[in-house]
């Protein structure tokens, strides 16, 4: 057995042991976007009309780094059960690097119950590639009464 293999193994162990600071580093993709914060809604010009309404309240926003980009997840609260065809509709990126998504969905077809708040929550997600994320410094998801944002 040559000395090269144990030496290589020892070097790799030392390198990995020194990576503790990487966790808080800006180079770590998990630190690219922090926790979401409340934000005022942003009015943007409409290029095409979407007939779906906005969710009443945006409860949470998470930006999860994945290989090749990030997944933007949002949870919204509706006034009743039965809302459907939910989607994050992207608006154009502004000159400050803000990417705004409208949380759009369709109302129930028939009359539905109000029930518990948990039963009226809807989750949506969208994948953004690294290319689309390059000019983005802030991601905003907005509903009819509020918006949430996550910044790099």
pLDDT tens-digit map of 14-31: 666 656 555 555 556 666
pLDDT at 7: 75
Total-model pTM: 0.69
pLDDT tens-digit map of 105-146: 999 999 998 899 999 999 999 999 999 999 999 999 999 999
- Token pair for 41: 């809604």
Q: Which residues of 111-124 are buried (b: 16+ CB within 10 A; e: fewer)?
A: ebeeeeeeebbbeb
pLDDT at 120: 94
DSSP state of 53: E
pLDDT at 15: 62
Give the residue extent of every domain in the chain.
Answer: 32-151
pLDDT at 46: 56
Is the CA virtual torsion 131, 102, 146, 72 positive or negative? Answer: negative
């Amino acid at each position: 057995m040559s000395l090269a293999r144990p030496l290589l193994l020892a070097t790799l162990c030392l390198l990995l042991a020194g990576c503790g600071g990487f966790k808080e580093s800006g180079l770590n993709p998990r630190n690219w976007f922090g926790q979401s914060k409340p934000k005022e809604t942003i009015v943007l010009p409409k290029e095409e009309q979407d007939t779906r309404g906005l969710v009443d309240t945006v409860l949470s926003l998470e930006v999860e780094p994945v290989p090749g980009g990030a997944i933007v997840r949002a949870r919204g609260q509706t006034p009743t059960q039965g809302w459907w065809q939910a989607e994050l509709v992207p608006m154009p990126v502004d000159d400050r690097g803000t990417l705004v998504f409208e949380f759009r969905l369709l109302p129930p077809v028939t009359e539905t119950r109000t029930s518990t708040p948990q039963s009226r929550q809807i989750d949506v997600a969208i994948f953004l590639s690294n290319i689309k994320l390059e000019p983005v410094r802030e991601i905003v998801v907005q509903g009819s009464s509020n918006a949430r944002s996550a910044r790099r």
